[in-house]
Amino acid sequence: MKNISTETAVLAVTILSTGMVYLDQSALNVAIPQIQESLNADVAGFQWILNIYILTLSVLLLIGGALGDRYGRVRVLIIGTLIFTIASVLCGFATNLEMLIVARGLQGVGGALLVPGGLAIINATVPPEQRGRTLGIWGTFSPLVVMLGPLVGGWLTTTLSWRAIFFINVPLGLLACWLAWRKVPESRDETATGPLDWPGVLTLMLGLGALLFGLIEGPQLGWVNALVLISIFVGLISLAAFVFIEARSPAPLMPLHLFRNRAFSGINALSLFHYLGLSS
């Protein structure tokens, strides 16, 4: 470990941390019958085991990236990985549906802090001449882990228990934290010196949270249900307010001019389809 290069350490940290997020989500799908039977969960309850993670991850993902830019990407990644690891332990020891739902929500919080840091750390710490190779290796592992997830989840569930799907994150998370702490240099956006864009943060959280809640509950409660309609309406109004605020903020949470860049917009579109596939 003493002679490990920065590039190798960065690759190991980003693959381990983001990899356990993708592995956990894709492996969990094959354990649905066992978890339902173990916790006496109905269909609606189990849907929230899956959806609460997507909800918290989506709401906080952009905020996690902003925190990394301001307070240190490695620091925020370590905190996110620790939160995800602790939440995984809580998931593994869950004795009822409610405990598992809360722990899954906490996993989403950890994921939102650690996922944005991977690409940013590679860009900030790996020399330009090695960056293309590093990004290629890192980019290959995400779909590979997603494909292997159901196989790993099925094997762990049949040979051990569905709880092992969560416990496997513990050694992965601890190793990622140790490597990041000891081997990866800290980086941050030196231009992000002002206060966090709190109006943008609040409107984004409310907008995404309300909209996703409405979309999640729509199939269960019905699309003309008052709670569903109000949630979607509040979400859309809040997101419109978020765009209005960002267009006028001196230090926006999401610089809107970036979407004029075709490469940036294309990457975000691909990421959207990736997460839609991961959550389906």
The model's pLDDT over 175-211, given as tens digits with 9 standing for 90+, comes to: 999 999 988 888 887 776 667 778 888 898 898 888 8
Average pLDDT over residues 157-162: 90
Q: What is the pLDDT of residue 109?
A: 94
Measuring CA to CA, which residue among 105, 11, 17 is closest to residue 57?
A: 105
pLDDT digits (tens, 9 = 90+) for 102-130: 999 999 999 999 988 888 888 888 877 77
Q: What is the pLDDT of residue 71?
A: 86
Counting other chains too, the contacts that 200-204 makes at CB distance below 8 Å and 24 or more residues apart are 200/242, 200/245, 200/246, 200/249, 200/252, 200/253, 200/254, 201/63, 201/66, 201/253, 203/238, 203/239, 203/241, 203/242, 203/245, 204/59, 204/62, 204/63, 204/238, 204/239, 204/242, 204/253, 204/254
Checking if the pLDDT of 167 tops 90, the result is: yes
The pLDDT value recorded for residue 75 is 93
The residue type of 132 is: G
Give the end-to-end CA distance of the chain in Å, rounded to a whole number: 39
pLDDT attached to residue 262: 64
Section 228-247 average pLDDT = 91
Integer CA distances (angstroms), 175 to 14, 78, 132, 167, 189, in order? 11, 11, 25, 14, 26
- Say yes or no to pLDDT of 86 above 90: yes
Q: Report the alpha-carbon distance of residue 91 to residue 77 in Å, rounded.
A: 21
pLDDT at 18 exceeding the cut of 90: no
Confidence of residue 31 (pLDDT cuts 50, 70, 90): confident
The predicted model gives 90-105 an average pLDDT of 93
Q: Quick one: CATH architecture of 6-183?
A: Up-down Bundle (1.20)
Instruction: Kindly indicate the confidence band of residue 3, based on its pLDDT and cuts at 50, 70 and 90.
Output: low
By C-alpha distance, which of 155, 91, 117 is closest to 18? 117
pLDDT, mean over the chain: 83
Q: What residue spans define the domains of the chain?
A: 6-183, 198-279
